[in-house]
Amino acid sequence: MAPRDLWRFFVASPRPGRFERLTEVQIRLLLQYLELGIDIELDVVLKDGTSLNFGQLSTGEQNRMLVLAKMLSVMEQGAVFLIDEPEVSLHLHWQMRFHETMMELLSRLTRFHVVVATHAPVVISEAAKYDPLSQRNLVAILRHDVEEGERPGDVAPGTGEVTLETHSFAEVASHDQLVLRYFQSSPYHAREISVEIADTVLRVAEGVKESPEAVALLKRLKATEGLSEETQGQIDEAISLVRRDWVRSIKGSEPE
């Protein structure tokens, strides 16, 4: 295949090509160019016919193309892909499509692992769509242990105890829940925090959860970033109810 064929695929065709649609022959040709380190300029043609140099693209557009190109350069059976913060500079819609694009690109492989380090809840929640009931895909959380009254953001990087937790995507009920449980943050006016408080109290009332465990969970919940004073007060009231065992007494006083 001549270089002109690759150029046609990316630029001159009626429907310009995408990395995930490259054939194996085109991939080999592209990698040869990358390995030779030839000083070339890449032009991108937009739908309206406008031509832009690669350097004129936004940081997000450049980042998206480079991540896919790097994946192509090591794509083989049994490969392990380590991707750090793919969401950097990406528009929200591109973050939402990251997993879909990546899986389309890797669809020709049958054995591979992908490890993504991310601070973007959208990237995680979109990944949950693809295999929500499987235990093969996991979310791994590195969490700083904090003292009472502290919040995770108060702990300086590299200090304090860090615990590792793993969760399956089956545990992700909603985007708000994911942000709350995995990022310890509460979006403005999110209802998930109230659901967590009520669920914890009800589990104590039903005897599913012991009071000390519930208090510890509620304290951890209070360390969430972005809580309003009203919500913090609700958590304090819930802790008081659980500590005084009022929850069980109320449950026991209900008529049969």
Nearest to 140, CA basis, from 172, 116, 111, 170: 116
pTM score, two decimals?
0.60
Main-chain dihedrals φ then ψ at residue 112, nearest 5 degrees: -165, 160
Long-range contacts of 189-193 (CB under 8 A, 24+ apart): 193/221, 193/224, 193/227, 193/231
Residues 83-121 pLDDT 10s: 999 998 888 888 988 988 898 889 889 999 999 998 888
**What pLDDT score does 152 carry?**
65
Of 247 and 206, which is predicted with more confidence? Answer: 206
Q: Is 57 exposed, middle or buried (0-12, 13-18, 19+ CB in 10 A)?
A: middle
- The Cα 40–Cα 50 span in angstroms is 20
**What pLDDT score does 77 carry?**
94
Token pair of 64, please? 């998206």
Tell me the average pLDDT across 32-58.
Answer: 71
**What pLDDT score does 78 carry?**
94
- The Cα 210–Cα 254 span in angstroms is 20
Residue 13 clears pLDDT 50, i.e. is over it: no
Residues 203-236 pLDDT 10s: 888 888 888 899 988 988 888 888 888 888 999 9
- The Cα 8–Cα 213 span in angstroms is 63
Token pair of 176, please? 């708000």
Residues 118-163 pLDDT 10s: 888 888 888 877 765 566 778 888 777 767 666 666 666 666 677 8
User: What is the full DSSP assignment across 169-205?
Assistant: GGG---HHHHHHHHH-B--TT-SHHHHHHHHHHHHHH
Of 18 and 232, which is predicted with more confidence? Answer: 232
Place of tokens 């991108």: 44
β-pair partners for 84: 117
The rounded percent of the chain whose pLDDT value lies above 70 is 71
Average pLDDT, the chain: 77
